[in-house]
Copies of this chain bind each other. A is one copy, B any other.
Amino acid sequence: MRAFVTGAAGFIGSTLVDRLLADGNEVVGFDNFSTGQEEFTAGALLNPRYRLVRSELLDLEAVKAAMAGNEVVFHLAANADVRFGTDHPRRDLEQNTIVTWNVLEAMRAHGVRRIAFSSTGSVYGEATMIPTPEDCPFPVQTSLYGASKVAAEGLIQAYCEGFGMQACIFRFVSIMGERYTHGHVFDFYKQLLEHPGELYVLGDGTQRKSYLYVQDCVDAILLALERASTPVSIFNLGTDEYCRVTDSIHWICERLGLDPKLQFAGGDRGWIGDNPFIFLECSRMRGLGWRPKLTIQQSVLRTVEYLQANQHILAAR
């Protein structure tokens, strides 16, 4: 297929690009390098089936120009900083909602009918059902990030109904693994490099979260897209387990051979709008035959190994 990937220089986007190329596809990547990394695109750029467009998704004409000739869109570009939404409240609206509208309009302009979209478990807010299924009770949003993603999901769904498109929407837990550039493992590892004897932890450490390895995530996206038969398919993507922040700290410190003094910020959550318990019901995706290959612990350790081998990434943000 001829695939168009937004966020193509990002953590998940670049991993997907490499996989699509390895599978023999033609790929156009699109990225503004606001958080994307040059090095993540280096391998792909050696491939004659790859073309990288450096531009802004907020520029509709640029998106339209780049979209021409593609068959499937993987829309992974996003502002993924859940935590700092209230510091710059327009960013999620622009980068996650308006940009998705631009992608859809560009698809419509060129008759591109299929889209895979990276949504988030954050759309469930503080879920009343745990593990949370895709059809849980209509949630109330608690973060600008979640709100911007639920808005993007709605736009995609309405375009499917109104313009005959087909969408796979994936609600991710936090993703881990090679090319990981932000999140708690990143923050903890960076702190421990600078001050091996102490670790500052947001909340009280009891927050429970689920995580998924990036290659397992890419496997799921490609399988779901292949199997999708309805106009709108929605899949939770996560592992069938969760861990506490303190579990993750234990695994990280054990791997590093450290025993830091933990300082907790206190409170039952990390920041305003944080959800202290994220655990998604993923049986719908498992029903297609998909299984994650790594556990949460293995994903966390794989991430630590990646950061150890690529310490320059810590300076990237």
Partner of A158 from the list B85, B138, B154 (CB cut-off 8 Å) is B85
- For the complex, give the distance between the alpha carbons of A104 and B85 in Å: 14
Q: Are B134 and A158 in contact (CB under 8 A)?
A: no
Q: Are A137 and B140 in contact (CB under 8 A)?
A: no
* A222 → chain B closest CB, angstroms: 23
* Binding-face segment, A11-19, A25-33, A90-98: A90-98
- For the complex, give the distance between the alpha carbons of A163 and B87 in Å: 11
* A302 → chain B closest CB, angstroms: 32
- For the complex, give the distance between the alpha carbons of A209 and B97 in Å: 31
Chain B hits for A120, CB < 8 A: none
A238 within 8 A of B: no
Say yes or no: A147-B143 contact (C-beta < 8 A), given A98-B93, A163-B86, A272-B161: no
Chain B hits for A90, CB < 8 A: 101, 105
Chain B hits for A141, CB < 8 A: 153-155, 157-158, 161
Chain B hits for A272, CB < 8 A: 161-162
Q: Are A144 and B136 in contact (CB under 8 A)?
A: no
Bin the interface of chain A by size: 35 or more
A135 within 8 A of B: yes
Besides A148-B154, A150-B154, 6 more A-B contacts (Cβ < 8 Å) are: A89-B105, A98-B98, A135-B137, A136-B138, A138-B138, A147-B155
Smallest CB-CB A-B distances: 4 pairs: A151-B151, A147-B154, A141-B154, A147-B158
20 A-B pairs in the complex with CB atoms less than 8 angstroms apart: A86-B162, A89-B159, A90-B105, A93-B98, A93-B101, A135-B137, A135-B138, A136-B138, A137-B138, A138-B139, A140-B157, A140-B234, A141-B153, A141-B161, A142-B157, A147-B158, A150-B150, A150-B151, A151-B151, A151-B154
